[in-house]
Each structure stands twice: as structure tokens, then as C-alpha cells.
Amino acid sequence: MANHKSALKRIRSNETKRQRNRFQHKTTRNAIRDFKALEKKKDAEKKFPLIASMIDKLAKNNIIHANKAANLKSKLAKHVSTL
């Protein structure tokens, strides 16, 4: 158990950040899954910038690595072009 007031606050803030990161990451993964299930090219082209923005935000906040973000966006762009 933490003995200092600042350590107790750090524990609380770390848990809050962990929950927020989990929520954002899971939400993005679900959005990517739904995006991959799209059949129409028009819908995919419309939704791609939103998904790319979500991925960029995860990378900016170090929830995922920048290279992983680039790889995901590349795969999704390739998916759009093959529809």
C-alpha cells in the first residue's frame, strides 16, 4: 500500500488513464472490424477518414505504436481500393 499522498493520487490517475486507454483502443478495434465488414466501396470511402483519425489519435497518445498505426491505415486503404 502506498504511504504518500502523491503515490495514492498517482494510483488513482493511472487507473483512470488505463480505463480511458482501454476504452479508446477497444472502440477503435470495433470500428475497424465493422469497417472491414463493409461491402460497398462508397460507404468504405466515406468511413475511411474517420477510422484513420481514430488510429492517429491512438498513436498520438502512445496507446499504439506509430508504426502499427501506419500499418493499420495502409491495410485499410488497401482494403478500400480492392472493393
Could you report the average pLDDT of every consecutive run of 10 residues in the chain (83 residues)? 90 96 96 94 94 96 96 96 90
Contact 63, 21 (CB under 8 A): yes
If one counts every other C-beta atom within 10 angstroms of the C-beta of residue 78, the result is 9
Alpha carbons 48 and 43: distance in angstroms, whole number: 9
**What pTM does this model have?**
0.84
Cell of 31: 470500428
Look at residue 83 in the predicted model and tell me its pLDDT. Answer: 87
Look at residue 2 in the predicted model and tell me its pLDDT. Answer: 82
Considering the chain, what percentage of its residues have pLDDT values greater than 70? Answer: 100
Look at residue 1 in the predicted model and tell me its pLDDT. Answer: 75
